[in-house]
Amino acid sequence: MSEISTENANLFVFPPSKSPHLLNPLVLAYIGDAVYEVYIRQYVISGANHRPNHLHKASTGYVSAKAQSKILEALMPMLTEEEVDMVKRGRNAKSGTTAKNAEVLEYRHSTAFECLIGYLYYKQSFDRLKEILDFALAYKRQS
């Protein structure tokens, strides 16, 4: 199977109403969650086992608050000052919701991770976004 060309991929053509750095960090986390989820689902589907239960379990290992919190911790030394600032905004955002299966700190860190993903996505820093997403995959595979 040939690789899918993203050169002319115009599927996601709705830019945010404001500059990414002006968006609420929870808005960035909202889109970041979706971007990360799709990335992980594509990765899991690229494997051989396509049973729905397997796909769900495999994906959860990457997208849970606990997993994202650990990924962010490992990622922090590699982030730019601008990215660290975005992580802090995401971590400190008051979401009004609580985590179902995570500690409060894990939940805040996973929100921070998703905020960073959303920020890079809306900034259209796709090379950097791919670096971070690839790091997340590699980190989780080795842990």
Catalytic residue positions? 33
Total length of the chain? 143
Q: DSSP of 8-39, one letter per residue?
A: T--S-----SS-GGGS-HHHHHHHHHHHHHHH
Contact 111, 90 (CB under 8 A): yes
